[in-house]
């Protein structure tokens, strides 16, 4: 006699996320893998274009300099993604430009010492060299945190309860780049959001197929359809009499990248000249590296879940942070005007497609390097209207936030201690970051304005990051609130992650995180 299923039984806790089509160590066939890799490349283009579009004009550069910086960012991102997937965490994460470095870069850009350069291109080069110098010095601290195990010591105390706000805020903290940017051109952005949801969530269930093409390549279909629609609107003159800001967001011929990009050019180190070094610039950039480390940690945890891997051991996480520091060093040497981080949107794409394959991300890195060298071809794709990317972010950032919510399965949600730490850390993270950001936009300076401008920038960088504020609150509370009580260890879910604190404790760890070519013999993980 069959046992009747109890509809009211709780769902079992899963160390590895079920339902994933391809995990970290498995791969789709080559044609599908190439399309998936191209999809990852398309998704990372938004951030790659947005950050240079903000910084380069303020530095004194024009369309030519902007195109060169974008190609440099793409080239270095491809190298960094390969390094991270081969020797870092080995997770399917894309390493790209980070918003955490924008404020320090602006601080350097507006420095008085550059006001004496009257020629815009000369001012651009001198500003770029100063940013390069600050990135190079900051990367040393970054690598020390990772390779010397300092970050490993800290993350060993992470529990599912303190990690949940980190991952949630890593996704939700980027909300300003989602719908607010979509709203700059609603007639393009909103159809993209609706089409993406229909293709990825409704059509697969409507046709009741196990692996739907619409679900797997929803981003490619959405971008192709809405981009063609935007081309029609542009050609029909729908924006001819609209304000310049609307035309810049909606039209497909206003990026200036296609005409400014060279046909073939390989970015190379020190292409802008010898870096310059200034103490205040370096300290401001170090604050950005700390924020990037925190946010990257949240993305790594989300990627490990969507890749159906076991929880990432602290030693592997620290190793990945060390290689991210190498990436920041390359940013400084090549001159990308910003540092590197694990891109949140690409981690969300893992959840959308249910393809967490490492090989797919490595293929996307090949696309980055190819299109950075053959600039004209890359510029065509980089001219996609930014509201289309913002529509993608509305879904992809939400997936990353959901990965953080998934960590709560390990916690006791009936505990008032759990409720307080979870609710307070998320709320204070969003609230403090919102206050610092709004204060900056309204008054033109941060709420901390001492006589030391570098200190002001450091505070602004740290407290403008919702994930950084949230994890500081959650980590402190989780380590001190009701310390010593017998129930705390189980309520916070610490016992679930205990077996992953040391690399070799769980037999599944090698499957996902072991270095290639048997390099673990020479670089053991502790």
- Token output for 167: 């991952």
Q: What is the pLDDT of residue 244?
A: 81
| Distance (Å, whole) CA 34 – CA 359 | 9
Work out whether the CA dihedral 134, 90, 173, 97 comes out positive or negative: positive
Distances (CA, A) of 419 to 107, 300, 302, 384: 39, 25, 22, 43
On whether residue 212 sits in a domain, the answer given is: yes
- Helix, strand or coil for residue 341? strand
Q: What is the pLDDT of residue 1?
A: 46
Q: What is the pLDDT of residue 12?
A: 86
Look at the chain and report how many structural domains it folds into: 1
Model confidence pTM above 0.85: yes
Tell me the pLDDT tens digit for each residue of 48-107: 999 999 999 999 999 999 999 999 999 999 999 999 999 999 999 999 999 999 999 999
On whether residue 518 sits in a domain, the answer given is: no
On whether residue 64 sits in a domain, the answer given is: yes
Q: What is the pLDDT of residue 524?
A: 61
Low pLDDT (below 70) residues in the chain? 1-6, 208-211, 522-526
| Distance (Å, whole) CA 125 – CA 106 | 14
Q: Which residues contact 63 (CB under 8 A, 6 or more apart)?
A: 256, 257, 259, 260
| Distance (Å, whole) CA 155 – CA 300 | 12
Residues 101, 287 contacting (CB under 8 angstroms): no
Q: What is the extent of the structural domain holding 358?
A: 30-492
Residue listed under structure tokens 């398309």: 42
On whether residue 47 sits in a domain, the answer given is: yes
Could you give the dihedral angle defined by the CA atoms of residues 61, 62, 66 and 68, in that order, rounded to the nearest 10 degrees?
Answer: -90
Work out whether the CA dihedral 87, 93, 94, 96 comes out positive or negative: negative
> What is the greatest pairwise CA distance in the chain?
87
Residue listed under structure tokens 């004194």: 60
**Burial class of 95 by CB neighbour count within 10 A (0 to 12, 13 to 18, 19+):** buried
Q: What is the pLDDT of residue 468?
A: 97
Q: Within its chain, how far is the Cα of 201 from the centroid?
A: 23
Q: What is the pLDDT of residue 102?
A: 95
Q: Could you say which DSSP state residue 413 is in? A: T
Question: How many contiguous H segments (helices) and E segments (strands) does the chain have?
Answer: 25, 2
On whether residue 519 sits in a domain, the answer given is: no
On whether residue 450 sits in a domain, the answer given is: yes
Q: Within its chain, how far is the Cα of 284 from the centroid?
A: 20
On whether residue 506 sits in a domain, the answer given is: no
| Distance (Å, whole) CA 475 – CA 471 | 6
On whether residue 296 sits in a domain, the answer given is: yes
């Amino acid at each position: 006699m069959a046992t009747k299923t109890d509809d009211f039984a709780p769902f079992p806790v899963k160390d590895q996320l079920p339902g994933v089509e391809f995990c970290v160590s498995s791969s789709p066939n080559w044609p599908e893998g190439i399309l998936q890799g191209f999809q990852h490349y398309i998704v990372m283009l938004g951030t790659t274009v947005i950050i240079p579009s903000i910084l380069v004009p303020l530095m004194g550069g024009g369309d030519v300099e902007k195109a060169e910086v974008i190609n440099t960012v793409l080239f270095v991102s491809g190298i960094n993604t390969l390094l991270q997937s081969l020797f870092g965490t080995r997770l399917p994460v894309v390493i790209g430009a980070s918003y955490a470095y924008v404020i320090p870069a602006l601080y350097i850009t507006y420095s008085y010492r550059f006001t004496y350069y009257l020629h815009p291109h000369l001012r651009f080069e001198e500003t770029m060299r100063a940013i390069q110098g600050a990135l190079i010095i900051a990367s040393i601290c970054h690598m020390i945190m990772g390779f010397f195990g300092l970050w490993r010591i800290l993350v060993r105390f992470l529990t599912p309860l303190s990690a949940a706000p980190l991952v949630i805020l890593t996704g939700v903290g980027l909300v300003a780049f989602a719908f607010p940017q979509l709203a700059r051109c609603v007639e393009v952005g909103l159809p993209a959001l609706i089409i993406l949801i229909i293709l990825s969530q409704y059509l697969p269930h409507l046709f009741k197929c196990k692996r739907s093409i619409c679900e797997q390549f929803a981003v490619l279909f959405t971008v192709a359809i809405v981009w063609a629609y935007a081309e029609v609107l542009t050609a029909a003159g729908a924006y001819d009499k609209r304000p310049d800001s609307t035309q810049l967001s909606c039209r497909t011929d206003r990026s200036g990248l296609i005409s400014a990009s060279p046909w073939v050019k390989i970015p190379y180190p020190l292409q802008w000249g010898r870096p310059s070094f200034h103490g205040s610039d370096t300290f401001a950039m170090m604050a950005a590296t700390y924020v990037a480390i925190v946010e990257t940690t949240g993305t790594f945890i989300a990627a490990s879940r969507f890749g159906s891997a076991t929880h990432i051991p602290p030693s592997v996480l620290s190793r990945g942070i060390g290689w991210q520091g190498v990436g920041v060093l390359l940013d400084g040497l090549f001159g990308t005007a910003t540092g590197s981080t694990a891109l949140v949107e690409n981690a969300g794409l893992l959840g959308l497609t249910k393809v967490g394959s490492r090989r797919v991300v490595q293929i996307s890195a090949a696309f980055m390097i190819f299109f950075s060298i053959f600039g004209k071809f890359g510029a065509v794709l980089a001219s996609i209207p930014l509201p289309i990317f913002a529509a993608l972010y509305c879904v992809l950032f939400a997936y990353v936030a959901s990965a953080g919510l998934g960590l709560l399965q390990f916690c006791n949600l009936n505990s008032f201690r759990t409720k307080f730490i979870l609710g307070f850390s998320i709320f204070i993270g969003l609230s403090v970051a919102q206050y610092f950001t709004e204060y900056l936009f309204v008054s033109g300076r941060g709420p901390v304005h001492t006589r030391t401008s570098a200190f002001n920038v450091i505070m602004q960088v740290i407290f403008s990051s919702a994930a950084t504020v949230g994890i500081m609150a959650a980590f402190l509370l989780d380590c001190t609130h009701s310390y010593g009580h017998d129930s705390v260890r189980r309520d916070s879910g610490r016992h679930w992650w205990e077996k992953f604190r040391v690399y070799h404790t769980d037999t599944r760890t090698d499957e996902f995180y072991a270095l290639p070519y048997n390099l673990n013999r020479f670089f053991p993980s502790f």
